[in-house]
A and B are shown apart, each in its own frame.
Chain A
């Protein structure tokens, strides 16, 4: 076997192999009137709202341009006086464990965000005490803002209920954790009370592993 040829092959490089390029697909996109060329940058930007928010440290930020764009993130909604089923505090405690597992990656190439559903009560100061009480480390930002902006954000991110009465109850929106690798447009979600190491593994499963040889990704057989 020509080892040199194969050693140079990675997941993406292999796509250029002659054998594959003879397959159909990837023809030039014909010009069609009236439709914009799909631009990844525009699609990424349009996916999120760029609403102004305030961090638990009092810093003013824009949701998409300052927090999400180009990053690998975890995101959830909560409110500090949440008692129903204790999902918020249990979820926060759970994410503290996730933060420990991810270790130094958090704040460097992984960012965690918790957005309050109750901006009236959850001022930056309250969020700061809440974060401190749970032992939250840097790289995990709690966010508040104008009620209207947060409501728009909540809807945009799918934290909504078909029943309008229940939709008004913030406790109904605190059980899901979203995670994503924004530049690769990879987005998924799981229950926030999944085991912390399982949550960390969900991220690992999503991350690209080009050039990996002869090993299964998930591998739970």
Chain B
């Protein structure tokens, strides 16, 4: 292939041409005569090379026409069903007890053996304190209210065997309490049209060892389980910041790397979009009561709205087959799939009864491809306290927030000035017509959730003026790397290369800091996501980041309409690779792009 790096006359070009010639030689070796090559207009005097020269500087602008939606979902009656509140998973005693290497004993719950994996890193250092268990399973689920008469769809989701709770589930984890999550794959071979019964559960933004990261190539089979070790320890603990203090409490790692809102989802190679769309999504909220910060108790620490007033919402657009009413996935879409029904925690247009007080809503855009811009219908502002699950230095008042796939915001919404009986809507007003990018236009709203103000309630919560400072970036930079998201010949590429599971595109020394730059070609919006550590944005298109991006992030959108209607084609980030070893992916989180090769692997070495 001819990568479009945009450089000219460089050593890179020579390398490219020599590789091209080698490939032509390979064709010849495969039995093609020179005359036949000529007949194909390929070589014989450099016609092929001329073709190669001719495409340099060519700006790709690929798209999948009309995003292939050939039908419309059945109509739904809005605001009939309540917003499902993700059930909080309950700690269990695992049988057999987890082991450092793959467990030699089959599960007492399912009879499954544990999948092969390397030993847990730092096992003895972070022996699990809290154990959870879930089974990935096919269940019947109603996205539509009963009165619409649309039959339930088969979804695949995390089910908790000890309680019978069905996903999206929620783990409430705490710093200083390492978690072990045993995930059984009990998915059927019969997929009902899409999805594959091989899985790998990624804890998004987890600072975890490679073998517990849930990378796309770490998948296992139906009939196996795997133990994921999530130690809930702050980055920096192993070397550069062994300890730090906040509120007079000293803990391991850098307190300024404290996280709060993560999520776990299937990350099976080639099938992430299908399997997450099919329902393999759940939530992970991480509390920092060890430093008296984000405590899950509104009378101590930051005193953010807690308990029943802390509600995660997974927003994901879907399509339903009008003939059968079943959840539909467009298998041959390459650009990004857009649905015409927005679900929140698995229900189309639910309602939520609220009290006249403050709430903490944790909004997650679940994908596969749509970008959202959230508004409140009464013109009220959100008070944003975090981005990508990380507390901001200070709360921001936002009239609206635009989120790429997998981006998160925690917002405080204060209903205390509303009246009982009032209805307020969480809305999306961003126009997007295809998988390429939103237009950036703010259009008539689509109501996502109806908030019904039903009464009063005590409110001990507060929103402090200061939340959590940013970590120090003043450390030596070991290396700079660039990643260019592109499309070549109708296939997704990074730096002109196609995904190769045997190639580490970056080999990184553990505990190094690097500067990575991301670029999107042709206006396509690509939300980039490196696993393992979050990062800070240094600049966008050469300018300092906007105030809402002065934050710790794990997602970086580049391309058209990242803000307003403008293109932001490149951005640079500061990122470190601390504490853990092994391979991790960096990929586009438009999961349709990701599944067609828009991914690289990096390896962290000692």
Contacts and interface: CB of A to CB of B under 8 A. Distances in A.
Secondary structure type dominating chain A contacts: loop
B191 A35 contact: no
Contacts of B30: 93, 96-97, 134-135
16 contacts: A19-B110, A23-B137, A25-B138, A33-B149, A35-B151, A36-B324, A40-B192, A133-B33, A134-B30, A162-B335, A184-B189, A190-B491, A194-B498, A205-B198, A216-B220, A220-B502
Given A211-B223, A212-B221, A220-B217, A174 B139 contact: no
A58 interface: no
B538 to A, nearest CB: 31
Given A208-B189, A214-B102, 16 more contacts: A12-B223, A15-B188, A25-B137, A25-B140, A32-B151, A83-B41, A86-B2, A86-B48, A133-B32, A158-B330, A160-B68, A184-B190, A185-B194, A187-B332, A208-B222, A210-B222
A71 to B, nearest CB: 16
Contacts of A34: 149
Nearest to A38: B324
Contacts of B216: 218
Interface in B104-128: 105-106, 108-118
A155 B64 CA distance: 9
Interface in B325-358: 325-326, 330-335
A210 B219 CA distance: 14
Interface stretch (A59-67, A101-109, A138-146, A163-171): A163-171
Contact of B63 (A23, A86, A162, A201): A162
B6 interface: no
A35 B324 contact: yes
Secondary structure type dominating chain B contacts: loop
A96 B29 CA distance: 11
A85 B161 contact: no
Nearest to B210: A221
Contacts of B492: 191
B65 interface: yes
A181 B103 CA distance: 32
Nearest to A90: B23
A158 B326 CA distance: 21
B233 interface: no
A29 B47 CA distance: 62
Contact of A23 (B105, B164, B271, B325): B164
Contact of B31 (A29, A133, A157, A173): A133
Interface string B567-597: 0000000000000001100000000000111
A115 interface: no
Contacts of B198: 205, 217
B489 A221 contact: no
A173 B37 CA distance: 21
B325 A32 contact: yes
B52 A221 contact: no
B414 interface: no
A82 B55 CA distance: 14
B551 to A, nearest CB: 32
Interface of B: 1-2, 20, 23-24, 26-27, 30-33, 36-37, 40-42, 47-48, 51-52, 55, 61-66, 68, 102, 105-106, 108-118, 135, 137-140, 149-152, 159, 161, 164, 166, 186, 188-194, 196-198, 200, 210-211, 216-224, 269-271, 321, 323-326, 330-335, 434, 436, 488-493, 498-502, 582-583, 595-597
Contacts of B106: 1, 6, 9
Contacts of B493: 191
Interface string A1-44: 10001100111101101011011111101101111111010010
B63 A161 contact: yes
Contact of A193 (B47, B188, B218, B491): B491
A20 B436 contact: no
Given A159-B490, A172-B489, A205-B198, A14 B117 contact: no
Contacts of A30: 151-152
Nearest to A132: B31
Interface in A45-103: 47, 80-87, 89-90, 93, 96-97
Contact of B323 (A12, A35, A189): A35
A217 B220 CA distance: 5
B191 A186 contact: yes
Contacts of B113: 213-214
A6 B107 CA distance: 10
A190 to B, nearest CB: 5
A6 B191 CA distance: 25
A119 interface: no
Central interface residue in A40, A166, A173, A216, by most chain B CB within 10 Å? A216
Contact of B219 (A6, A9, A133, A218): A218
A152 interface: no
A171 to B, nearest CB: 7
Contacts of B37: 89
Contacts of B188: 12, 15
Q: Which 8 A-B pairs have the closest CB atoms?
A: A162-B63, A175-B489, A11-B223, A25-B139, A158-B332, A191-B491, A135-B31, A188-B270
A12 B40 CA distance: 50
A85 B2 contact: yes
Contact of A176 (B164, B200, B334, B436): B334
Contacts of B325: 32, 35
A93 B26 contact: yes
A125 interface: no
A172 B490 contact: yes
A216 B218 contact: yes
Central interface residue in A166, A192, A218, by most chain B CB within 10 Å? A218
B111 A194 contact: no
Contacts of A80: 40
